[in-house]
Amino acid sequence: MSTLTEAEAPPPTAPVPTAKPARRRGRWTPYLLLAPGLIWLVVFFAMPMVYQASTSVQTGSLEEGYRVTWHVATYWDALSEYYPQFLRSVLYAGTATFLCLLLGYPLAYLIAFRAGRWRNLILILVIAPFFTSFLIRTLAWKTILADGGPVVGALNSLHVLDVTSWLGLTAGDRVLATPLAVVCGLTYNFLPFMILPLYTSLERIDGRLHEAAGDLYATPLTTFRKVTFPLSMPGVVSGTLLTFIPASGDYVNAELLGSTNTQMIGNVIQSQFLRILDYPTAAALSFILMAAILIMVTVYIRRSGTEDLV
């Protein structure tokens, strides 16, 4: 996307002192421009949150209907019953985010500094998989990680599976239907969301800074630690957020690649809402997830000092 927007950008110009967003004429114009979109967001994004909050403190049954009874106990019941799924969500999403950073950083670095004329091609290859439905691609992991397949065979003969099953990540000589498969799928699915922001912030770094650091007696590793990585922090922050948030609410990977022992909170919300039809419990779980995410995101953004993500 950054290549698209830069293609026809106007020539760099000196700041114009008079180019303020303020305009005398048309005081109502901004509100007219904002109104349709904002009304949409208020009605179909904000209001549903209120309805959900209200549903979470209702009691009743499908047949007789629900009424608000301020039955806060639903929250306690939901938490005490489903805390393993909550923990698993945080654990899996956190691990996947970490792996995404670990895997994505070299690729983003490669595209930004080392790819030369291959840069656009590699960028296309990073984005192109998006055009195949992610469900189809996730199903492909069933083939890749199939029992007795080449991947599992190789891991087995290298005794990697012994280690992972000792760690509780896999079971026996299977990878499918284990936590490892779910984390692998999550990492795969959200990797581009890590790579693209990382690339954007790395690409902005002036290559001469590396030379300057080298000139000032920094080894390549020190240059990376003291110059490149700190300057790429905005990308790291938005990349981890863009990975962790959707991963923590995901239930597709856990459903397709996992088993009943790898269920995440998304699976619970989904089944409560769509199969069991216990709306108050589902709403409460969803509300807890939302609150947890919001708190984590706020703390994270505050601590990393990048508040202007929009």
Partner 1 sequence: MAFLNWLKRHLVVIAGLLTLGYLLLPNVVVTVFSFNQPKGRFNYEWQEFSTAAWTDPCGVADLCGSLSLSLQLAAWATLGATVLGTLIAFALVRYRFRARGAVNSLIFLPMAMPEVVMAASLLTLFLNLGAQLGFWTILIAHIMFCLSFVVVAVKARVMSMDPRLEEAARDLYAGPVQTFLRVTLPIAAPGIAAGALLAFALSFDDFIITNFNAGSTVTFPMFVWGSAQRGTPVQINVVGTAMFLIAVLFVVAGMVVTNRRKRQKA
Partner 2 sequence: MKTTQNSSGDVRLTGIGKTYGSFTAVHPLDLTVPEGSFFALLGASGCGKTTTLRMIAGLEEPSQGTVSLGDQDVTHLPPYKRPVNTVFQSYALFPHLDIFENVAFGLRRRGLKSVKKQVDEMLDLVQLGEQARKKPHQLSGGQQQRVAVARALINHPKVLLLDEPLGALDLKLRRQMQLELKRIQTEVGITFIHVTHDQEEAMTMADTVAVMNGGRVEQLGSPADLYENPKTTFVANFLGTSNLIEAEVDSRSGEEIVLKAGDGKLVLPEARCAAPAAAGGRVLVGIRPEKITLTHADDAGQIPVGRNRITGKIAATSFIGVSTQYVIDSSVCPEFEVYVQNVERDARLVPGADVVLHWSPAHTFGLDAAQDIDAGVEEGAAL
Q: Count other Cβ atoms within 10 Å, centred on residue 73.
A: 11
3-state SS assignment for residue 228: helix
Q: For 142, phi and psi rounded to 5 degrees?
A: -60, -40
Instruction: Give the residue, chosen from 17, 116, 207, 305, that forms a contact with partner 2 under the rule CB under 8 A.
Output: 17
Q: Say whether residue 62 binds partner 2 (CB under 8 A).
A: no
Can you read off the two tokens belonging to residue 9? 């950008």
User: Which C-beta is closer to partner 1: that of 161 or that of 242?
Assistant: 242
- For residue 279, the partner it binds in partner 2, partner 1, none, with Cβ less than 5 to 8 A by kind, is partner 1
- For residue 228, the partner it binds in partner 2, partner 1, none, with Cβ less than 5 to 8 A by kind, is none
- For residue 24, the partner it binds in partner 1, partner 2, none, with Cβ less than 5 to 8 A by kind, is partner 2
Q: Say whether residue 24 binds partner 2 (CB under 8 A).
A: yes
State the minimum distance, in angstroms, from the CB of residue 25 to partner 2.
Answer: 9
User: Which C-beta is closer to partner 2: that of 24 or that of 275?
Assistant: 24
Q: Say whether residue 188 binds partner 1 (CB under 8 A).
A: yes
- Residues 78-117 interacting with partner 1 (rule: CB under 8 A): 103-104, 106-111, 114
C-alpha 13 chain-centroid distance: 36
| Residue 37 to residues 22, 32, 41, 44, 45, Cα–Cα distance (Å) | 21, 10, 6, 11, 11
Separation CA 90–CA 92 (nearest Å): 6
- Residues 257-276 interacting with partner 1 (rule: CB under 8 A): 266, 269-270, 273-274
Stretch that binds partner 1, among 155-163, 167-175, 209-217, 278-286 (CB under 8 A): 278-286
Instruction: Give the residue, chosen from 80, 117, 136, 215, that forms a contact with partner 1 under the rule CB under 8 A.
Output: 136
Q: Which of 229, 207, 206, 226 is nearest to 218 (CA)?
A: 226
User: Which C-beta is closer to partner 1: that of 5 or that of 166?
Assistant: 5
Q: Say whether residue 116 binds partner 2 (CB under 8 A).
A: no
Query: Which residues is 67 bridged to in the sheet?
Result: 59
Number of residues that bind partner 1 (CB under 8 A): 95
Q: Count other Cβ atoms within 10 Å, centred on residue 222.
A: 13
Separation CA 99–CA 96 (nearest Å): 5
E-strand ranges in the chain read 58-61, 65-68
Give the count of alpha carbons within 13 A of 193, CB side only: 20
State the minimum distance, in angstroms, from the CB of residue 136 to partner 1.
Answer: 4
Stretch that binds partner 2, among 7-15, 67-75, 132-140, 191-199 (CB under 8 A): 7-15
Q: Count other Cβ atoms within 10 Å, centred on residue 71.
A: 16
Q: Say whether residue 27 binds partner 2 (CB under 8 A).
A: no
User: Pattern of binders to partner 1 over 10-49, x per CB under 8 A?
Assistant: x--x--x--xxxxx-----xxx-xx-xxx-xxx-xxxxxx
